[in-house]
A = this chain, B = another copy of it.
């Protein structure tokens, strides 16, 4: 099969390389980045195209740390089971775990990021008074609730009285001087959601994380991507434990017991 020569017009501004250099966003990887910046700094540089400030880096480190692990989650189990049956390909195990970062679990980050982005657009012209901001939030929340949806970023099935990570994330943002209008809008969302639904719906970690990522300039469409960076580390830790103390055999035995052929009566 000979193939054909076809023209292809493509390019990227993320990174570049030649025989002697590698660049990320125009900075020299060797001279400017390796040993000079942290993972979090270069991740932000690659995603946003500009070098983050120390305060922004601290806030994003807090976000990445907050979602890194949550014990034996379904996605940690998916990664461990996959690693056990395909130990030659740790990338497959991690990928299987990441594929669970969908609309139900970590994806709420994306939903909250979108809501806050919409609110920022709603309130972009001039300084909104408290009443104007409240009305904008009410309109957005009512639209979600009327459509039968859940307000993203609020509530948690385990941390029912409040997600302990959320408050700490906002505190870090305030300490670093990074909390601004998105955090303000988020607090209004929490307040109005309680008023509107009559239920206590405390802020969760993904909601707080979304506000912080917006404050540092990460668009909502990429919020779930930061959850993926974070979880990758947690999944590698779980795969490492599976190497030493596998849980897959016990899970497999339980699954077999649960799907045994029922004796006819």
Contact = CB atoms under 8 A, between A and B. Distances in A.
Interface footprint category on A: 35 or more
Contacts of A198: none
Interface in A211-265: 219, 221-222, 224-226, 228-230, 232-241, 243, 245, 247-248, 250-252, 254-262
Contact of A169 (B34, B219, B233, B239): B34
B61 A260 contact: no
Contact of A164 (B20, B70, B88): B20
Contacts of A257: 4, 6
Contact of A228 (B34, B103, B232): B232
B40 A38 contact: yes
A96 B36 CA distance: 30
Interface of A: 1-24, 29-30, 33-35, 37-40, 42-43, 46-47, 58, 61-62, 64-66, 68-78, 81-82, 84-96, 98-105, 107, 158-161, 164-165, 168-169, 171-172, 175, 219, 221-222, 224-226, 228-230, 232-241, 243, 245, 247-248, 250-252, 254-262
Contacts of A71: 12, 14-17, 22, 255-256, 259-260
B84 A107 contact: no
A261 B15 CA distance: 8
Secondary structure of the A side of the interface?
helix
A109 to B, nearest CB: 11
A175 B169 CA distance: 33
Given A103-B87, A221-B240, A8 B75 contact: no
Contacts of A22: 69-71, 164-165
A254 to B, nearest CB: 4
A14 B238 contact: yes
Contact of A229 (B23, B34, B159, B236): B236
A42 B65 contact: yes
A19 to B, nearest CB: 6
